[in-house]
Structure 1
Amino acid sequence: MKSNLNLNTPEISPSQRKLWFAAIKPPMYTVAIIPITVGTAAAFWENNHFSSQIFWTFLLSAIFIIAWLNLSNDVFDSDTGIDKNKAHSVVNLTGNKSLVFALANVFLTLGILGIFLIAWWQKEVTVLGIILLCCALGYSYQGPPFRLGYQGLGEIICFFTFGPMAIEAAYYSQVQHFSYFVLIPGIIIGITTSIILFCSHFHQVEDDLAAGKKSPIVRLGTQLGSQVLTGVTIGIFSLIGIFIILGTIPPTTLLIFLSVPLAYQLVTHVAEFHDQPDRVNNCKFIAVNLHFVSGMLLALGLILPHLLPS
């Protein structure tokens, strides 16, 4: 296939730069940063232990794996035709699906090598096994023959992969044992990550219907979908309050409530513009902001008990 990318062009136009920024999705890499950070913070809170070498290796590996996921999903979506109207698809921008798929696999290899390095340092393969399972679930989202995202299962896959599983893997990488406690931040981060994917469907209902993709918004409709979003978002902060009252997480995790303005911005924006694709299409970026800020505040709330005076 002939490439649309002219390497001899001295500079890229502002519109092209915007398309490339949208295609590369820099904000989406928070879904790699947050679970590793929160899982590491959880290990620090419970065990007062932190290995910077393992943390940075894991974080870089997770970023590589997300790059694989984003690029390979562009390739798989191009096969179904769902991205034919998506100007910021990497495949559409380059016109070279084979190159994009090859680059995606390079990123996957680099990511797995980093996790393998952690397993070699620890002389066991538990973390590697968890991450390989995460990658398999990530592939099943859009990859053939599964394409579970087309059956509306993407949010469920997202919840487990980037929530309990990724956070447990980050926790285990620090202390080499499991903890039931990790389910608490795992549930919170799993929900906020799934919200990002959920919000990405509001503006593309017509394209999803044309491609036979039964996304949650296709099934629910945009109005009911906006109400579900409001309920789930309120649920995040309700769960934090319940866990603090039960004494299962430290009171310092109340810091997560500083992200309430972002949550309010998200649900009110979607409630107002849920059926207007040109107005609601930026809601996933508000969801990314909520995910990142709430996740970092949760991590800070977990490490503060060891940093504050007794």
Structure 2
Amino acid sequence: MSEPQVVASLHAAEAPRQGPPLDRRRLWKAAIKWPMYAVAVMPALIAAGWRLGRGLPMRLDQLLLFLLAAVLLLAWENLANDVFDDETGVDTHGKPHSVVALTGRRDRVAALANGALVLGLLVMAVVALRSSAAVLLLVLACCGLGYLYQGPPFRLGYRGLGEPLCWLAFGPCATAAALLALAPVAEAGGAAGVTIPWADALVLGGGPALATTLVLFCSHFHQVEEDATHGKRSPVVQLGSDRAATLVPWFVAATLAWEWAPVLLGWWPLTALLGAIGLPPARALIRLLREHHHVPERISGSKFLALRFQALNGLGLALGLALGPWLARAGH
């Protein structure tokens, strides 16, 4: 599929803005946002790849539980975001695929969001009981950052602070939690004496978290007018779409530089460079926003190109970390 075809298909999946009556099935598909869950599972997958590559034991049952909890917690984040944005009116006209707009029942969507939060935390509590209490504390910190981003009275995303909060939550905090959850109980520290692996989490999770932050950054481009009207001062509103588009290549470059530096320093195997498989969608994203940043109808799918970069980059890194030492041994 060519780059124009990819952009067109992503745009169609997002939601049409004009023309005949909207296809509710397509709107529900856009509302569910199933591709977005790549950002939830990536910290644990990368942590698993890192442990496998270092020859450390990795608990598959813990990984599966962590992934389930992460998906539930991101479902809470997405549903709660629809509820909170409906309260401010920012979604009234520009987002027909909001779950609140589709159901017309903010109260039920809020209840569903809270249910996903409670269930996700219960699953994560099981993970913590089988590893370290710090896992649950770190995940609660991630949820707190998510609430600061969107929830009243803070709504820091409306002040242009969503991106750094996103990086913290999906970078050091989530990665540190995953590293502890996947380790044997004795290594994770058990109930006492736990040491949170901040250094490893920062090196391992910082680059992929920049790619996740790029997804959030790109979600603002097609709704600049709506955001500005309702007081949402996103970075794209503050900078203008033209200047904001010039930052996208820097997000991509910073992601790869963060991930390639440990390879150059000899900390990671050369196969960790497999994260570069995310470059084709990144290239398409850069071109799309450079040429059409001011045309909302053309760029509503830009966040899905950013998401494709994030997913391929993270999976490539996880696979490269896991396979590097095995391939090296096979070559001798």
State the TM-score bracket (shorter-chain normalisation).
over 0.9
Matched residues in 1 for 2:24 and 2:248: separation?
33
Q: 1:272 and 2:281 equivalent?
A: no
Contact in 1 for aligned 2:242/2:290 (Cα 8 Å): yes
Q: Which of 87, 98, 117 is the equivalent residue of 1:89?
A: 98
Distance in 2 (alpha carbons) for counterparts of 1:197 and 1:73: 13
For 1:110, the equivalent position in structure 2 comes to: 119
1:148-178 residue CA offsets vs partner (Å, 9 max, x unmatched): 0000001111101011111111011112154
Shift in Å, 1:306: 4.1
Q: What is the DSSP-based 3-state SS (H/G/I as helix, E as strand, rest coil) of the residue aligned with 2:246?
A: helix
The answer for the alignment partner of 1:302 in structure 2 is 321
Partner of 2:259: 240
TM-score calculated relative to the size of structure 1: 0.92
AA in 2 matched with 1:61: A
| Alpha-carbon shift at residue 258 of structure 1 (Å) | 2.1
Q: Is the 8 A contact 1:45 1:302 kept in 2?
A: yes
Question: Which of 22, 34, 39 is equivalent to 2:42?
Answer: 34
| CA displacement 1:239-267 (0-9 Å, x = unmatched) | 33332111122211011122211211111
1:309 Cα deviation after fit: 5.2
Q: Given the alignment of the two structures, is residue 66 of structure 1 paired with residue 85 of structure 2, yes or no?
A: no
In structure 2, C-alpha distance between the alignment counterparts of 1:146 and 1:234, rounded to whole Å: 31
Q: Is the 8 A contact 2:241 2:293 kept in 1?
A: yes
Distance (whole Å) between structure 2 residues aligned to residue 109 and residue 47 of structure 1:
35
- Aligned partner of 1:98: which letter? D
Structure 1 runs not aligned, ≥5 long: 1-12
Q: Which residue of 2 aligns with 1:141?
A: 149
- Aligned pairs (5 A) from 1:73-222: 73-85=81-93, 86-122=95-131, 124-175=132-183, 176=188, 178-179=196-197, 180-222=199-241
TM-score (norm 2): 0.86
1:74-130: per-residue Cα shift (whole Å, max 9, x none)?
A: 0000100000011001001101000000011111111001111012223x3110000
Q: Secondary structure at the match of 1:308?
A: helix
The residue type equivalent to 1:211 in the other structure is H
Runs of 4+, deviation exceeding 3 Å: none
The answer as to whether partners of 2:86 and 2:92 remain within 8 angstroms in 1 is yes
Q: Deviations over 1:61-80 (max 9, x none)?
A: 00000000000110000100
Structure 1 residue 229 corresponds to structure 2 residue 248: yes
Identity of aligned residues (%): 41
* C-alpha distance in 1 between matches for 2:236 and 2:136: 34
**Counterpart amino acid of residue 104 in structure 2:** G
Per-residue displacement from partner, 1:1-51 (whole Å, max 9, x unpaired)?
A: xxxxxxxxxxxx981000001111111111111111112222333352110
Question: Cα distance 1:226–1:14, how it changes in 2: closer, same or farther (>3 A)?
Answer: closer
What is residue 275 of structure 2 aligned with on the other side? 256
Deviations 1:174-194 (A, max 9, x none): 121543233122111110000
Paired letter, 2:142: C
Aligned to 1:49: 57
> Whole-Å Cα distance in 1 between the matches of residues 236 and 52 of structure 2?
39
Amino acid at match of 2:102: L
> Residue in 1 aligned with 2:9?
none
Contact kept, 8 Å, 2:173 with 2:201, in 1: the verdict is no
The letter of the residue matching 2:246 is Q
Aligned position for 2:7: none
Partner residue in 1 for 2:33: 25
The alpha-carbon deviation at position 269 of structure 1 amounts to 1.1
In structure 2, stretches of 5+ residues that fail to align are: 1-20, 189-194
In structure 1, distance between residues paired with 2:256 and 2:303 = 19
Q: Distance in 1 between matches of 2:225 and 2:328?
A: 56
Mapped to 1, the partners of 2:47 and 2:271 lie a distance apart of: 16
Instruction: Give how far 1:210 is off.
Output: 0.6
